[in-house]
């Protein structure tokens, strides 16, 4: 069964009880296709296989995390599904939360990966704020141009009501209760009809003591889709008598080598052999709904602002201003 399972906690429980009346839990495969992507699984294995990386992934070293999933595509003929669901349920409840779980989970042997993922997901919470507007921003695309093609506004897409308030862009902030990640904000954003396709984790390290002119904080980008690769941002001194710096970017493509299957192929093969590790469990889906539900209720209120953005842009200006209010910028 493809995600999203249900559209909130209540409908999720109904789907679950309907399914478990006829099948045992071990016979049910809840699919999030991001968990079939080699690049997404690699978030976990990069940590697993590189102790040097694992040692620096902790709150004493990290300033904040950004997870971005941009798409240049629009509805692709799926208005009937998407208009009722919106970006928070379509992308954040599953794919983006899974990326956060893989980045923060405890390293485990293969057979307990699923349990460790659920535990990591369960640590995420919405930061305390005066208003949920400080935690989430929503947007919807207006007409614009992408790669030389003129695109219509979301409301003019086939089978979408002219009055639709469905969000095609979401930015939000989460925190984790895990002591390792204590105090580190996670900024997530995703949207359709943006300027390019890219899925990326950016790990921003703590700002160093003032080291000199031109220096910027270290950063590690793990680019999962688009021009997949890893980029480590270091600093190097410019020539001269003064300590002035320029960014030195170590860059390596991150391409799947070996027996690479497309995500659904890999997942179906695992279902055939009865392997549940990279499928969602009901507990995992329930945990994701627990995080998302208050936000979805907030967005569903008519008075919550829906910011328009031009197709082919970086998203609504309001999402940039929202970040700047917290003293950070999207990379
Ligand atoms: C799907 C969503 O799960 O993921 C789509 O329903 C979205 O709306 C898609 O476009 C993105 O997947 P990918 O693999 O292209 O990043």
Q: What is the pLDDT of residues 13-59, one digit of tens each?
A: 999 999 999 999 999 999 999 999 999 999 999 999 999 999 999 99
Q: What is the pTM of this model?
A: 0.96
Q: Which protein residue's CA is at the shortest distance from atom 4 of ligand 1?
A: 91
Q: How far apart are CA 298 and CA 315, in angstroms?
A: 20
Domain boundaries, the chain: 9-203+260-325
146 HSE (CA, 13 A, CB side): 23
The answer to whether residue 129 scores a pLDDT higher than 90 is: no
If one residue of 2, 4, 33 were mutated to test the ligand 1 pocket, choosing by the most ligand atoms within 8 A of its CB, it would be 33
The answer to whether residue 79 scores a pLDDT higher than 90 is: yes
Tally of CB atoms within 10 A around 160: 18
Atom of ligand 1 nearest to the CA of 37: 14
Q: How far apart are CA 209 and CA 121, in angstroms?
A: 33
Q: How far apart are CA 267 and CA 29, in angstroms?
A: 10
If one residue of 36, 74, 89, 91 were mutated to test the ligand 1 pocket, choosing by the most ligand atoms within 8 A of its CB, it would be 91
**Catalytically annotated residues:** 95
Tokens of 189: 């954003």
Enumerate residues lining ligand 1, CB below 6 A.
71, 90, 225
Atom of ligand 1 nearest to the CA of 85: 6
- pLDDT tens-place string over residues 166-201: 999 999 999 999 999 999 999 999 999 999 999 999
Class at the top of the CATH hierarchy for domain 9-203+260-325: alpha beta
């Amino acid at each position: 069964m493809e995600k999203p399972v249900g559209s909130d906690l209540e409908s999720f429980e109904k789907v679950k009880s309907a399914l478990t009346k006829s099948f045992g839990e071990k016979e049910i495969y809840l699919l999030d296709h991001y968990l079939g992507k080699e690049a997404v699984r690699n978030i976990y294995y990069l940590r697993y296989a590189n102790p040097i990386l694992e040692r620096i992934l902790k709150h004493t070293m990290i300033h904040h995390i950004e997870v971005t999933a941009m798409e240049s595509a629009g509805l692709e003929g799926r208005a009937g599904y998407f208009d009722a669901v919106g970006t928070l349920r379509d992308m954040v409840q599953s794919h983006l939360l899974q990326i956060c779980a893989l980045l923060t989970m405890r390293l485990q042997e293969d057979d307990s990966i699923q349990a460790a993922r659920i535990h990591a997901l369960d640590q995420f919470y919405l930061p305390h704020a005066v208003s949920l507007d400080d935690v989430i921003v929503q947007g919807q695309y207006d007409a614009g141009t992408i790669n030389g093609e003129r695109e219509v506004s979301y409301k003019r897409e086939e089978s979408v009501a002219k009055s639709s308030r469905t969000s095609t862009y979401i930015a939000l902030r989460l925190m984790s209760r895990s002591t390792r990640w204590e105090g580190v904000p996670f900024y997530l954003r995703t949207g359709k009809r943006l300027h390019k396709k890219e899925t990326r984790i950016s790990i921003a390290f703590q700002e160093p003591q003032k080291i000199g002119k031109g220096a910027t904080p270290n950063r590690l980008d793990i680019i999962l889709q688009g021009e997949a690769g890893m980029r480590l941002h270091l600093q190097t001194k410019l020539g001269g008598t003064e300590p002035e710096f320029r960014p030195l970017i170590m860059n390596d493509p991150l391409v799947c080598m070996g027996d690479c299957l497309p995500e659904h192929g890999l997942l179906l093969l695992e279902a055939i052999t009865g392997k549940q590790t990279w499928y969602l469990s009901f507990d995992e889906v329930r945990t994701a709904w627990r995080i998302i539900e208050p936000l979805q209720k907030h967005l569903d209120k008519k008075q919550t602002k829906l910011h328009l953005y031009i197709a082919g842009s970086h998203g609504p200006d309001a999402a940039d201003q929202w970040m700047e209010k917290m003293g950070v910028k999207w990379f």
